[in-house]
Structure 1
Amino acid sequence: MTASDSEDLHLRPFLAEAGKFDKLVEANRTLSAIISPLDDSLAVHLKATKYEAGKQPKTAEHPIYFAKRHKPPSMERRLFVTDTLVIFEAFRDLLKSAETETEGWLQTPDALTMLRKLGIDYVNFIKECWVHASQPISRPEPLQFPSEHYRILYTTFSLFVLLYLSEPEFEDAPIGDELLEWLNIHFIEPSTEEGDHLSKLEKPWEDQTFWSYLVKCIVRGLTKAAVFFLDVLSKHPSFALRDMTKLITPLISSQPRLQNYSSEREFAYAARRWRDKVKALRVELNKIPEKERTVVIGERDEEDWWEKLSDIVGVLEGRFEVVKRIVDEEFTGDWKDAVVAYGMFVNGRMRRQDLPDVLAEVLDDMPPDPTNIEESLHVALLSGNLKEALQHAQKLDPWLSAHLADIMVPLQLIDTEPDEESGLSLRDYHILTYADYLRSDAGLWRVVVDYMYSCDDIGKQQADEVLLRVPLRLYDRPNPAAGELITEEREETEAVVGVLKELNEACSEYQREATRRTICRVAAKSFVAKKDYGLAVAYCASAEDWAGLGRVVDYVLEEYIISGPQSFVNQATAISSTIQELYNRGPSHWVFYHRFMFVTSYAKFQEAIVNKNYASAAKSLVTIISEEVAPRAWGAILLNDAIPLLQHNEELVFNTSEAIVILQKLEEVFTGVNQGAEEDYLSLYMRLLAMRRLQRQESSGKEDGEIEGMSMADALSQLGNVRLFLARYFARCTS
C-alpha cells in the first residue's frame, strides 16, 4: 500500500477503529515502524509501550504491514524520469561551467539564451509525453498518470518559461501577444466544431451561438475567423448592421500587434492611431436610431444586434469592465482570458511586472477555483508568488517543483539561503523531496543520487547513504539471450562490471572518495565470502584497506590448510598480479608485502611439487626458509613439506648446506616448543594434520568424518620424522 497525498498510511485491516487509538494504549500497545534502508518502504507493526523489569514481552500474533510512502514509477513514468534527467544534467553542466566565468555571467544574454533553451527543452519533452499519453493505443500496463496530468505539467512549465525565461533583452517588452499565444495553445476556445457548424449555415447569424462565437474570436485574436463571419453579416437583414460591419471589419483586421513592428515606439504610435479609429466607430455606432438597433431573426423575437456589436466595440475600446463582463459571460468566468484581454485591448504595453496588479483586479471579480491545482499554480506564477507556486507544484507532482526550483536559482527568483530549522535551501528541499519520491523504486538509485549530489552537504550525505545501500548482487545471473551459453567466468565478470562499476563511477564523478572506499571494502568482503580472492585483493587495494588486504592473504594461506595444494596455488595465482602492482607503486604499500612474498614463494613450491620438478621445489623451499619470509606458524608445515623431498630416491635435491638450513629450522621449532611456545609453532601444523586425516577418511569412503583432535605429542612425533629423514639424507650425501 502507498501513502495518499496527505502522507497518511491507511492500513487494512485496521488495528484500531477511528478515534479509538487509546484502546491500544490501554492494552500496552502502540504502533512502530522500521524504515527500509533500500527504498522508502516501511514495516509497520504493534509493539509494547513498556516492559516490566525481568519479564519477557509476550509474543502476540499481529500482522506486519509493508507499506510505501509513494507508488513506484511505472514503466512509462520511469522513461519520463530518466529522459528528463538528461536535461537536468545539461542544466547542471551549464551552472558548473558558469563557475569558471566572471561573476554575474549567468545574467548575460548568452547564458540566459542557454537557460531559456533548456527550459524550452523541458516544455517540448512534456508535450511529447502528453501527446503520447493521449493516444488511444493498447499499452503493456495502464498509465500511472493520465494524459490530463501531463497536460497540466505542459501548461504550467510553458507559462513559467514565458514569464521568467523570456528572450534576452526582451524582459521588459510588452507581454500581451505572448500570453495570448500561450492561452490559445493550451486553452482552445472557441472550438473548431463551433466554427465548422456556423460556416455551413446559409444564415449563421440566426444561430444562437453566432454572436458568442464572434466575440470569442475577437477576444482571442482569431482575426481570420472574426473577419470571415463579419463579412457574412453583409447579408444581414439590418442595413444599419451591414454599414457598421464595413467599418468594424478593417479595424479588426488592422489591430496593431507588437510582433509586427520593429520597435515598441512604432507599435505604440500605431496603437494610438488605431484607438482613434475605434473612437470614431463608437460615434457612428451611437448615431444609429433606437428603432434600427433590433431586427427580427427567423422565428425568434427581435435581436438586439446593436448591444452585441456595442460589446465588441467596448472590447476594442479597451473598457476593462466590458472585457471582464464578456469574459465572464462567454468564457465561463475564466480569469485567464480577462488578464490576457487586458494586455491585448486595455493596455497593449502591459509588462511582466504589471501582471500581479492586473491579476489582483481580475480576481476580485472572477476568483479562481481553489480546489483546482492548475488554476492555483497559474495564479501563483502570474502573481510572482513563486514559493507558493512551488508548494502547489509539489502537490501536483514533485518532479515539477524540483525542476522549477532548479531553474529559479540561477535566475535569482528564490532565496538560496538555507532554512534555520531544516538546514535546506528552498531549491534543495524540493530536489530532495523529488529524490525521496524516486527512492520508491530501488532500481532508480543512479537517478536519485544524481539529484541528491546536486544539493549542498545534506543532499550529498543522503546520496552517500543511498550508494552504500545499493545491493551489489555480484553473482546474480544475467538474463541470457535464447540459446546463449553463459559461463561462470563470464557471469562473474559481467556482474562485477555492472552495479559495482556504476557505483565506483558515481563516486568518482561526484568526488566521494570515502564512500567509494567503503563500497569497495563491502565488495571485497563479498568476494572473500565467495572465495574470489583475486577480486577481493583488487577491491581492498582500491579501498586502500591494507588491513583487509592482509586478511585476504591470510584467507589464501588458509585455503592450503582447508582445501589442499591445488586450490591454494589457484588462489595465490589470482592475487599475484594485484599484489605485485601494489609493490611496484612504492613503500607505502609494502606493509603486507612480506606476507605476500611467502604466499607467492610457497605457491611456486607447491606447483613444482605437483609438476614433479623436485629440484626446483627444493630450491624454493630452502629460499623460503633461509630468507625467513614464512610466518612462524608455518615453520613446522615447511619441515613437513621437506619430507618427500628428503625421501626422493632418484636424485639428491638438496646439497649439504641446504640440508643444514632445514636442520636449523627444525632445531628452531623444537627449541621454541621446549621453551613453551608450542602454540605459536605447532597449532597450525596440528590443524593441517587433522584436516589431512579427515580428507583421507572421506576419500576412503567413510561417511560422517569428523576432525579428530591432534595431540601435541602426535604433532611432535610426526615432526620428529624430519630429523630421521635428515639423518638418512646426510648419510646419502656422504656415501
Structure 2
Amino acid sequence: MATNSNLNLAPPLVEFGKFEDLVTTGQTISSTVSPADNSFAVFMKNLVRSLPSGVDHHDGEDEQPIYFASRQAVPSSERRLFLTDTLLIFTAFRNLLKSAPNRESNWVQSDAFVGMTRKLAIDYVNFIKECWVHASQPIPRPGGLQYSSDHYRSLYTCFSLFVVLFLPEPGDEGAPLADELVEWLNTHFIEPSTEEGDSLSALDKPWEDEIFWPYLTRAILRGLSKASLFFLGALQQHPSDNLQRLTSTLIPLIETQPRLVNFAAEKDFAYAMRRWSDKVKALRIDMDRVPENDRFDEFDNWWDRLGDIVGILEGRSEVLQRVCEELGADWKEICVAWSVFVDPRLRRQDLPDVVAQVISELPPDPTDKEDMIHAALFSGQAVEALQHACQLDPWLSAHLADLMESLELVDSCLDEDSSLSLRDEYILTYADYLHSDPALWRVTVDYMYSCGDVGKSRGDEILLRVPLQLHEQNSDVKVNSRIRAGEIVGVLKDVNATCLEYQRENVRRTVCRIAAQTLVSDKDYGLAISYCLSAEDWRGVGRIVDSVLDEYITGGRQKFTQYALAIAPSVQELRTQVGIHGVFVHRLVFAVRFARFHELLDKEAHQDAASDLIAIFSEDIAPTSWWAIVLCDSIPLLRHNPKLLFSSSGASLLLHKLEEIFICTSQGAGDDYLLGLTRMIQAKDEKEALERLKAVRLALAHYFARCLVLDTDRLP
C-alpha cells in the first residue's frame, strides 16, 4: 500500500538540504508519538556522541520550538458523522459473516448470502449518495467542508461500480451486463448535457447548429431514446428527401432496439438482436444508394454524420472508438457502448478483455484516482483497485476490501511477515486514520477487532489509553452515588461494554485498575475499591486499604474515618466472593471496623466503641503493626468514669496484646509491632514508642484496680 511518508512543517525546523549542517552542530530532529492518538511532537534534540574539535555543544536548556503534527487531519463533525453511520453497515456485514458457521458449509457462496451482501453494499452506496447530496447543498458552513462534494461523488461512482460489476442480482452473474453499465454511466457521468438539449429543442432547424449531430450521436450512444427520437423527428423537416426517408427508417430502429430487461430469456433477446441487426444492415444498404451530391446540406455532410450513427448501430468497433474520441468520450464510455452495440451479450468475465483493448489506445488518467479505480474495477483487478482506493480515501479501500474478501476477489491468506490478510491491512490503515481523532475510539476498535490477533492487539492498546474522564464523573453527585451502588458509568462504562462485547477481559481488568489508581491519587477510595473489585485486583484492594489506613497516621482520625467508611460497602461484597485471599478481606474489615470504632467515639457511644475494640482483637482482624495504635486509642475508654466499659476478660485480652508487643520487641521484632505507632507519633526509635505504650499499661492497671474496688465480679 502506498503511503506518504513525508511531513512538511511550517516554518521548517531545518531548511531543505541542510540537515547535515544540523548534525555537525551536535543536534538532530526527533519525535515522540502521542499515546492518545496518532499525532506526534517533533523537536530538536542533542546528539549523544563526541563532536569534532572546535564545535561547541548546544546548551540543552536553550528554548527550542516543538511542533505538534499528525499524518491525517482530524475528521470534522460532518466527516465524523459519515464515518460513524457507515459503521452500522460494516457491523451488520460482520454479523452476517459470523452467522456463517451456524449455516450450511457453503452458505457464503449461496445466492442468499450474495443477496444479503448486495443489499448491504447498496446501503453503502445510498448512504454515500446522501452525503454527496448534502455536501452539494449551498449551505453556509464555517470553515467549509473538510471533504468536498466532489470527493463524495467519487466515492459514490466507485462503490456503485463495484456493486454493478461484482455484486449482480443472484442468478444474473452470467447474464449480459450492458443495461447495468449504461445505467451506471448515465447516472454518474451525464452526457450530453441537459442545457445543450434545451438549446437545440428551442430551434426551428436544430440541424443548422454545430452541436446538433454530436448531441444526437451521443444521445444514441447513451441509449437516451427519448432525446434521440425527438431530434430524429426534427430531421423529418430537413430539406433533404433522402435524409427524411432514412430517418423514417432509423426512428423505429431506435425505438425497438432490444434490451435484455425486456425479455424473459436470453435466447429471446439474442434472436431479437439478430433480426434487429438485419434491419440495420438494410438501412446501410439504403444509405449507400444516396448519390454523392445529395449527401450534403448547407451546414454539414449529413450522410457522414448519419453514417457514423448507423456504423455504431452495426456494432463496428473502429467506428465506435473513432466517434467516441471525436465526441471527447473517455475509455469508460467506449467500453459501455461496446457492451451495447459491439457485443450485446458481453458478460462480466469477458469485460476485462474489452477494457484492455480500449485502454491500450485510450488509457485512463493516471493523475485521477477515481478514474484509476474505475479502470481497475472494469479490468477485474481487485488488488489494484484497492491500492488506488486507499489513495483516494482509506474509508473506500477498507470497505471494498471487506466485501472483496468475502466474495473471494482477493486472497484471504495471511502475509508471512505481517500476519495480516490484504483485507486486514486496509482495515487497519483505515483504523489508523480514525485514531487521529481520540473521540472516535469506539469506531476505531470496532474495525481493529475485526482483524485477527494483530488487530485485537492494536485494539487493546487503544482501549488502554482511552481518557476515562473520572474527574468529570466525580464532580457529579448522582454519578458518584451510582458508582457506589456498583454501576460503572460514563466513558469507563463504554470501555467496559466494549471489552465485554469483544471478550477482552484482561483489557477490562487493566482499565479498571487504571481507573482505581487514578481515584486513589484523588483519595476517592470508595470508588477506587469498587473498580478494583470489578477488576478482581485483590492486591489493588490491599493497597487501597493500606492507603486508607495511612490516612489515620498522616491525616488524623477524622479524615481516616471519612475515607474508611466510604469503602465500607465493599466489605459485604468481598465476603461473598469465593477464592479471595483472606488477608485482603481481613485488612479491609479491620479498616472499616476501626473507622466505626472512632465514629462511635465521636458520638460518645462508649459502650459500643469498647465492644468494637475488643472484637477487633478477639476476631484477630487487626494487623500486628496496628496493635499498638489500637491499644493507645483504648486509653480514653479505660479511663472512662464512672462506668466500667470492659469485662475482665476483655481487659485481660488488651493486656495480653500489650505484653506480646513488649516481649516481641525485646526479641527484635519491633518493626512488626511498632512501625505504625512510630510513624504516627514521629518517634525517633522504638524506645520512644514503647514509652507511649506504657501509658496503656498504666491505664490497664488503674482499670483492674477499679474493677477490684467497684465490682469484684469483674475480677479475672
Q: TM-score, normalised by structure 2?
A: 0.94
Letter in 2 for 1:326: V
> What is the CA distance between 1:493 and its match in structure 2?
5.8
Alignment of 1:352 onto 2:345: no
Whether the 8 Å contact between 1:669 and 1:681 is mirrored in structure 2 is yes
* Deviating more after overlay: 37-46 vs 162-171: 37-46
Structure 1 residue 569: Cα displacement: 3.0
- The equivalent of 2:382 in structure 1 is 386
Instruction: Indicate conservation of the 8 Å contact 1:445/1:466, yes or no.
Output: yes
Q: Does 1:689 align with 2:681?
A: yes
Structure 2 CA distance for aligned equivalents of residues 15 and 596 of structure 1: 56
- What is the CA-CA distance between 1:26 and the residue it aligns to? 2.8
Shift of 1:7: 3.0
Note if contact 2:473-2:479 (Cα within 8 Å) is conserved in structure 1.
no
Task: Please state if 1:555 is matched with 2:547.
Answer: yes
2:701 alignment partner in structure 1? 727
> Equivalent residue for 2:529?
537
Q: Deviations over 1:108-132 (max 9, x none)?
A: 1111111001100100010011111
SS of the aligned residue for 1:274 comes to helix
Residues 593 and 477 (structure 1), Cα distance of their counterparts in 2 relative to 1, 3 Å cut: closer
Counterpart of 2:91 (choices 89, 92, 108) is 89
Q: 1:716 aligns with which of 668, 690, 701?
A: 690
1:180 aligned to which of 157, 179, 182: 182
Measure how far apart 1:328 and its partner are.
Answer: 0.7
**Correspondence for 2:192:** 190
Q: 1:715 to 1:420 in 2, by over 3 A?
A: closer
Q: Show the counterpart of 1:110.
A: 112
* Counterpart Cα distance in 2 of 1:197 and 1:69: 49
- Partner residue in 2 for 1:206: 208
Q: Distance in 2 between matches of 1:322 and 1:680?
A: 102
Whether the 8 Å contact between 1:211 and 1:308 is mirrored in structure 2 is yes
Give how far 1:24 is off: 2.4
1:323 to 320, 323, 334: 320
Please name the residue that 2:633 is paired with: 641
Report what 1:40 is aligned to: 38
In 1, distance between residues paired with 2:666 and 2:478? 49
Q: How many angstroms apart in 1 are the aligned matches of 2:140 and 2:687?
A: 81
Aligned to 1:69: 71
Q: TM-score, normalised by structure 1?
A: 0.92
- Asked if 1 retains the 8 angstrom alpha-carbon contact of 2:538 and 2:580, the reply is no
**Partner of residue 161, structure 1:** 163
1:465-484 → structure 2 map (5 Å cutoff): 465-476=461-472
C-alpha RMSD of the superposition: 2.1
* Equivalent position amino acid for 2:408 in 1: Q
Kindly indicate whether the alpha-carbon contact (under 8 Å) linking 1:474 and 1:496 is maintained by their aligned counterparts in 2.
Answer: no
Q: Which residue of 2 aligns with 1:255?
A: 257
Aligned CA distance change for structure 1 residues 295 and 657 (closer, same or farther; 3 Å): closer
Cα offset for 1:90? 0.8
User: Do 1:333 and 1:366's aligned partners in 2 also have CA atoms closer than 8 Å?
Assistant: no
Aligned position for 2:714: none
Q: Is the 8 A contact 2:625 2:673 kept in 1?
A: yes
Counterpart check, 1:678 vs 2:659: no
1:502-540 deviation per Cα after TM superposition (whole angstroms, max 9, x unaligned) = 111111111111111111111111111111112211221
> Is the Cα–Cα contact under 8 Å of residues 315 and 343 in structure 2 kept in the other structure?
yes
Unaligned 5+ residue runs, structure 2?
A: 710-716
Matched residue type, 1:316 = L
1:663 aligns with 2:655: yes
Q: Aligned pair in 2 of structure 1 residues 438, 487: CA closer, same or farther (>3 Å)? A: closer
Distance in 1 separating the partners of 2:10 and 2:337: 52
Provide closer, same or farther for how the CA distance between residues 306 and 69 of structure 1 changes in structure 2, counting only shifts above 3 A: same
The number of residue pairs the alignment matches comes to 700
Output the amino acid matched with 1:36. Answer: S
Q: What is the identity, as a one-letter code, of the residue corresponding to 1:720?
A: K
Task: Work out which of the residue numbers 132, 138, 141 in structure 2 matches 1:139.
Answer: 141
CA distance in 1, matches of 2:10, 2:224: 55
- Structure 2 SS opposite 1:31: strand
Deviations 1:332-369 (A, max 9, x none): 14111110111111111001011111111111222222
Q: CA deviation at 1:713?
A: 4.2
Deviation at 1:712, TM superposition (A): 4.0
1:445 aligns with 2:441: yes
Q: What percentage of residue pairs aligned between the two structures are identical? A: 54
**SS of aligned partner of 2:383:** helix
The Cα of 1:732 is off from its aligned counterpart by 2.0
Q: Does 1:424 align with 2:420?
A: yes
Return the letter of the residue paired with 1:444. Answer: L
- The residue type paired with residue 663 of structure 2 is T
Cα contact 1:475–1:491 (8 A) shared by 2: no
Query: 2:11 — aligned with what?
Result: 13
Offset at residue 162 of structure 1 (A): 0.6
8 Å Cα contact 1:689-1:710 kept in structure 2: no
Q: Which amino acid aligns with 1:19?
A: G
Distance 2:260 2:476 in 1: 70
Secondary structure, counterpart of 2:42 in structure 1 = strand
Match of 1:702 in 2: none
Return the letter of the residue paired with 2:542: G
2:564 pairs, out of 562, 572, 589, with 572
Q: 1:413-460 CA deviation, whole Å, 9 max, x = no partner?
A: 001112233332111111111111111111111111111111011111
Helix, strand or coil for the counterpart of 1:586? coil
C-alpha distance after superposition, 1:656-698 (max 9, x if no partner): 22221112122112222222333322221133234xxxxxxxx
Asked whether the 8 Å contact 2:567–2:592 carries over to 1, the reply is: no
Segment drifting more, 515-524 vs 344-353: 515-524
Q: Is the 8 A contact 1:180 1:340 kept in 2?
A: yes
**What does 1:592-607 correspond to in 2, within 5 Å?**
592-607=584-599
C-alpha separation between the residues in 1 aligned to 2:263 and 2:311?
25
Alignment of 1:27 onto 2:25: yes
> What is aligned with 2:287?
285
Spell out the pairing of 1:577-588 with structure 2 (5 A cutoff): 577-588=569-580
Structure 2 CA distance for aligned equivalents of residues 491 and 570 of structure 1: 15
Counterpart of 1:699 in structure 2 is: none
Cα distance change on mapping 1:731 and 1:16 into 2, 3 Å: closer
Query: Any idea what the Cα deviations from partners look like across 1:540-591, whole Å, max 9, x if unmatched?
Result: 1222221111111111222222333333333333223323222212234534
- The answer to whether the 8 Å contact 1:127/1:154 transfers is yes
Deviates more, 1:653-662 or 1:218-227: 653-662
Larger CA deviation: 670-679 vs 185-194: 670-679
Distance (whole Å) between structure 2 residues aligned to residue 253 and residue 431 of structure 1: 48
User: In the TM superposition, what is the alpha-carbon distance from 1:595 to its structure 2 partner?
Assistant: 1.7
Deviation at 1:491, TM superposition (A): 6.7
AA at the equivalent of 2:39: S
After TM superposition, give the deviation of residue 58 of structure 1 in Å: 3.8
Mapped partners of 1:333, 1:491: distance in 2: 67
In structure 1, stretches of 5+ residues that fail to align are 479-485, 691-708
Contact 1:174/1:349 (8 A) holds in 2:
yes
Q: Does 2:454 align with 1:458?
A: yes
String of CA shifts for 1:593-644, please: whole Å, max 9, x gaps. 1222322322332222122111111111112222322111111112112111
Q: 1:137 to 1:669 in 2, by over 3 A?
A: same
CA offset at residue 195 of structure 1? 0.9
Alpha-carbon contact 1:537-1:549 (below 8 Å) kept = yes
Partner-residue secondary structure (3-state), 1:33: strand
Tell me the SS of whatever aligns to 2:567.
helix
Alignment partner, residue 525 of structure 1: 517
Partner in structure 2 of residue 614 of structure 1? 606
Q: Deviations over 1:212-255 (max 9, x none)?
A: 11111110001011111111111110111111111110000000
CA–CA distance in 2 between the matches of 1:588 and 1:29?
A: 55
Q: CA deviation at 1:68?
A: 1.0
